[in-house]
Amino acid sequence: MAKPIDLLQGTLDMLILKAVSLGPLHGYGVLLRIQQISKDRLEIQQGSLYPALYRLEHQGWIASEWGESENKRKAKYYRLTAAGKRRFQAETEKWNRMADMIAGILNTTPEEV
C-alpha cells in the first residue's frame, strides 16, 4: 500500500460531490467511498468532513434527509442537487484543464524551452 498523501486544499468539496454523485450516502459512507475510490491513497481528516458537508448543504449543492443505514440505524443521507450537479461538472472541467496545464509545464524538457 502506497503511503497516503494529504488532501490538496479545496479539493475535499470536489471529492464529496463526486462521492454523492454516485448515489445518496451518509457522512461515514462518503468517507468510505472516497477512500475506496482512491484505493486508500488519500488521508482525510474525519473531523473536517462534516463542516465541509454542512457548508455544501448550506450552499445548496447537496441536500440531506434522514434514512435508515445498512445496519438499521438512523443516519443522515446526502445526495447531489441539480445545482450541485452543474457545479460539479464545472469544477471537474476546471480541474482537468488546470491539471493538464500544470502537467504540461512540469513535463517540459530543457530542449523545449
Partner 1 sequence: MTFWSRVSSWLQAMLRRSRMESEMDAELRFHVEAYADDLIRSGVPRPEALRRARLVFGGIENAKEECREARGVHFVETLLQDSRYGARTMLRSPGFTVTAVLALALGIGANTAIFSVVNAVLLRPLPYDQPDRLMQVWHTPPQKSFPGMPTFAVSPANFLDWREQSRSFEGMSAYGFGRYTLTRSGHPEAIRMVAATVGLFSILRAQPLLGRGFLAGEDEPGHEHEVVLSYGLWRGHFAGNPDIVGKNIQLNGQAFAVVGVMRPEFDFPISSDPGSRAQMWKPLAWSAQDRAVRDNHNYAVIARLKDGVSLPQAQAELDAISNALAQAYPNDNKGWGAIAIPVREDLVGDVRPALLILLGAVALVLLIACANVANLMLVRALSRRKEVAVRTALGATRRRLLQQALSETLLLAFAGGALGLVFAHYGVILIVKFLAERLPRANEIALDSWVLAFTLGISLLTGFAVGLLPALRMAEADLNQALKQGLGRTATDSGGSRTRNVLAVSEVALSLMLLIGAGLLIRSLWVLQHVNPGFDPSNVVTMAVSVPTGKFAEATQQINYFGRILERVRALPGVQSAGLIDSLPLSDDGSHQPFSAEGRPTAPMAELPEVEVRLISPGYRSAMHIPLLSGRDVDDSDVAGRPGAVLISESMAKSFWPNEDAIGKHLTLYFFPELPRVVVGVVGDVKMTAMNETQPAPTLYFPVAQMSVPRGASWRSFGMILVARTDAAPLSVVPAITGSIREIDSEVPLLNIRTMDDSVSASLSQARFTMLLLGAFAGLALLLAVVGIYSVMSYAVSRRTNEIGIRVALGASRGDVLLLIVRQALLLALIGSVIGIVGALALSRLLASQLYGVRPTDPVTFISLAALLMIVALAASYIPARRAMRVDPMTALRYE
Q: List residues binding partner 1 (CB under 8 A).
A: 26-28, 31, 45-48, 50-52, 54-55, 58, 66, 69, 71, 73-76
Instruction: Write the single-letter amino acid at 87.
Output: R
Task: Output 43 or 100, the one with its CB closest to partner 1.
Answer: 43
How many other β-carbons are positioned within 10 Å of the β-carbon of residue 77?
Answer: 19
Cell 475535499 belongs to: 12
Are residues 55 and 9 in contact, defined by beta-carbon separation less than 8 angstroms?
Answer: no
Task: Output 55 or 79, the one with its CB closest to partner 1.
Answer: 55
Taking the complex as a whole, the smallest distance from the CB of residue 100 to partner 1 amounts, in Å, to: 32
Taking the complex as a whole, the smallest distance from the CB of residue 99 to partner 1 amounts, in Å, to: 27
Are residues 79 and 63 in contact, defined by beta-carbon separation less than 8 angstroms?
Answer: yes
Cell 488532501 belongs to: 7
Task: Output 39 or 109, the one with its CB closest to partner 1.
Answer: 39
Task: Output 32 or 82, the one with its CB closest to partner 1.
Answer: 32
Taking the complex as a whole, the smallest distance from the CB of residue 25 to partner 1 amounts, in Å, to: 12
Residue 26 pairs in a beta bridge with: 77
Taking the complex as a whole, the smallest distance from the CB of residue 91 to partner 1 amounts, in Å, to: 18
Cα 82 to Cα 100: distance, rounded to the nearest angstrom: 27
